[in-house]
Amino acid sequence: MAISTSDLKNGMTLDLGEGLFTVVEFQHVKPGKGGAFVRTKLKNARTGAVIERTFRADEKLVQAIVDKRDTQFLYRDGDDFIFMDQSTYEQTTVPIGSLGSAAGYLKVGNSATLHSVNDEIIGIELPASVELVVTETEPGVQGDRVSGARKPATLETGVVLQVPLFVNIDDVIKVDTRTGDYITRA
C-alpha cells in the first residue's frame, strides 16, 4: 500500500528496497530555502540495525502490512521455537534468528505476539516483564551490603544478567524484557 511521507507514524512498517523497516522517529523539516523534507530514523525489522534516512516531502513509500497474532510458547525443538496461535490452535515454528534477544526470556506457557509479513516472522513482542528462576549465582556474603552492588546470575532460560547481592539460587525474579534488567524479586 503506497503512502505519502506526510502520513508517517511511529511504529509503522515500511517496505523499502533494502528490506522491511519500522519507523522509530520522524521529523518534518521546512528549511528557509529549498523544498521541505522528512528526516527519519528507521529500524531494520530483521537485524535491528537503526539507520537515518531523508525523504522528500511528497515522496511515496510502500507500507508493509504486518500481521500480529497472539500466541503461546509451547516448547523448544533444537534451534526452533514452537508457538500456538491462541484463536486457531495452529502451531508455528519460528527459528531462533527471528526472535533475537527475546529468545532468552521465553518460558513454556508464556504468551507472546508474533509479527509477520507475508507469512515470514519478522519479530516478537513479549510482555513488559517475566518471572524467571535463578539457577546459578554466587551466594551473598553476610555483611556485604554495599549499596547498588551487583553480581552475575544465570536464569532458567540460560540468560545471564546482573542482580543485587541478596538474590540467591532458586529465587524467582522479575526481569524487564525490553532492557534485560532485574526489576525485583517475585
CATH number at residue 148: 2.40.50.140
Residues 25 and 77 in one domain: no
Q: What pLDDT shows up at residue 165?
A: 84
Sign of CA dihedral 119, 122, 125, 131: positive
Residues 27 and 14 in one domain: yes
Q: By the 8 A CB rule, do 64 and 48 touch?
A: no
Residue 7: band (very low, low, confident or very high) from pLDDT cuts 50, 70, 90: confident
- Last residue of one domain, picked from the residues 125, 145, 169: 125
Number of domains in the chain: 3
Residues 99 and 118 in one domain: yes
Q: What is the mean pLDDT of residues 37-63?
A: 87
Q: What pLDDT shows up at residue 141?
A: 64
Q: What pLDDT shows up at residue 146?
A: 64
Residues 55 and 80 in one domain: no
pLDDT at residue 5 tops 90: no
By C-alpha distance, which of 132, 131, 100, 130 is closest to 115? 100
CATH number of the domain bearing residue 52: 2.30.30.30
Residues 14 and 53 in one domain: yes
Q: Which domain holds residue 52?
A: 2-62
Contacts of 81 (CB under 8 A, 6+ apart): 73, 93, 94, 95, 96, 99, 103, 106
Residues 18 and 53 in one domain: yes
Residues 57 and 71 in one domain: no
User: Over the Cα atoms of the chain, what is R_g?
Assistant: 21
Residues 83 and 112 in one domain: yes
Residues 58 and 72 in one domain: no
pLDDT at residue 108 tops 90: no
Residue 84: band (very low, low, confident or very high) from pLDDT cuts 50, 70, 90: very high
